[in-house]
Structure 1
Amino acid sequence: MSANHLPRSSWMFPALAVGFVAASAAFGLSFTPSLAGMAFAAVLLIILFGTVFAAVHHAEVIAHKMGEPYGTLLLTLSVIIIEVAVIATIMLGDKAVPTLARDTVFAVVMIVCNGLVGLCILAGGLRYTEQVFQVSGSKVYLSVLIVLSTITLILPNYTLSAQGPLYSGLQLAFVSVVTLILYGLFLYTQTVLHRDYFINSDDDGDVSHASSRTIRISAVLLAVSLVAVVLLAKSFSVVVDAGAAAIGAPPAFSGIVVALLVLLPESVAAISAARHNQLQKSINLSLGSALATISLTVPAVALAAYLLGKPLVLGLAPGEMVLLVMTFAISMLTFGTGVTNILFGMVHLLVFAVFLLTVFVP
């Protein structure tokens, strides 16, 4: 990818975001249920989504220079920073939402492992009939993802130290440390020990010819974009709450919105890679984002909840646990052979449709 000429939107939206934040602080602008409030919300959402896409674009410019798998890792971590900021802002705001982290993490796993994986496999299968990938890398992703999902989303329902689907302070601290250790070991495996598990022979040469000046500009604009999204998160949380109340959405709606916000740009990149017969890159992006979400979101939100004395509900409802277990069972079959086709893609998409149905029609 040539990145010597940065698109106008890649610097325009970060600049607009900084200006919007400054104007809101200077003039006390905020969302209200009125015509002016609707205009405020519309401008906020346009700038926020544009800035998220800009952040991902600059991460991709740097990622192409770094090559695989470092590139997709940088892209994933950039997206997770945005997600953690939005979750923490909403969950720990004036209106406490102790289940938001759980709902968002679960939504990310379902969107990624069913919706995104299904679309990537279907898009690639329709164009190339079959696509190949590294089974060894997929096994590493799934083994860590299954363990982290179980100890953060299922095990809290069966502990006795705290009332409800909660961990005690000691248990939450231990689980947070374990998730960070596992993710650290995964990164070491991905980038040093078994780097070849996560690349195909044609991926290693997929580097850009971006100039050093372009890389420096993208690095600065990436930092500005991430900070701007964090600053916009509070206003976004108010809009999400108002929108959920207006349509009578279930409690899990906010988690899905946050997940879609942060996953949308990365999903576009993953589907594009699958359509260009780079399914390995799609898998790195999709499964990597789900893994990073659990590994980094849970410890970050747990620390914030502890410092502010807020409860943190993690355990899923029985129906959601069934969907989670079914998702991982299907994923093990899908990624167990090294070859995919459209049937695997349709199965994952149908499971994702069931997830959406159970959210809006419990």
Structure 2
Amino acid sequence: MWHFFPENYMFSYQVQRALTQSLYGGGETNEVLDTASKIEVGNLESFHKEWLAQGRRSLSEANQALDEGRTISARAAFLRAANYLRTSEFFLLPTDGRKFPTYQSSVAAFQKGAALLPTPPRRVEVPFEGSTLPGYYAEAPGGAGGPLMILFGGLDSTAEEFFFGPAQLLNERGISLLMLDGPGQGGALRLHHLHHRFDYEVAGTAALDWALANLPMDPQRIGIMAVSMGGYMAARIAAFEPRFKVCAIWGAVYDYHEIWANRPDTHPLATILQHIVGVDNMKDAREKLSHYNLRGVAEKISMPTYILHGEDDRQNPVSHAYRTFNDLTCPRTLNVVPASSPGSAHCQIDGFTRTFPMYDWIQKTL
């Protein structure tokens, strides 16, 4: 992975994230690089301040274009603003009074921009244990009655950001997408205070039942996928919900407790982990993660399963992909992007074109 900040992997990763999502409307390359150039490396306050400033500039551009009736330009600027504001919220502590308002502004900008699309994604609320899982349904052109994928994110993602890549890549292959904030994610966490859980099949089944009852899709062509930490979640859902017809693991996680056992309490993502599982210290967080593994689980998956992983993944080692693949007893495909090539980093954030074979496989299999 190319590093904008050679001495700071996590800051560089977020820059790459925005650059890659820019290909699908989630930014503009030179705006991203200009913003990054103003950040004091390692300074979380500087990170927040500069991304927030760029988000507000893009938001002002969007509002001015909208006032003048230039709706296409307004749409593009709203969507860029949404992703910049999401990035600015990323490292804010859960106790920081700016975190929730920044999240809200990101979602509002996304929804204003999405509403100006020729075919806007539909906002949805999936009932879940007395609350709801918020998200969006992006129907493929002519996709009514066709295949559907349900997508959950990972440790730190939001449903909105999956418009910038997955929704478009699936839709152009004739596959509709239901992208959701599950427990511990996005609005499910920030709005409804639903924390992450190891038995993610409960959320997967709720999403599937709602889709079958409410969306115009073919029940014989529905799949599950998830990214990053979601590599554990997708596998867990597939293992205990055999009604899914395919499973796509975008970044494998065989044992999430093991991953965090090798990280210090001061890891940049530690506060995010504590927030999503609903504790205030790493000892309790690691205890929660003791159940997050695929031993005795992966072999229960019955539907065709695709694993995509980068050999240079510094967050979830490639060994997790091999271990998950070797435990599978279903039809299986493993795609490891070779080291030192674009797409070899965590979840192909450094080269989204390396995800295309996964989407092609989904299209062919469904």
Which structure carries more relative contact order (alpha carbon 8 Å, separation 6+)? 1
TM-score with structure 2 setting the length: 0.30
**Which structure has the larger Rg?**
1
* Higher normalized helix content (fraction of residues): 1
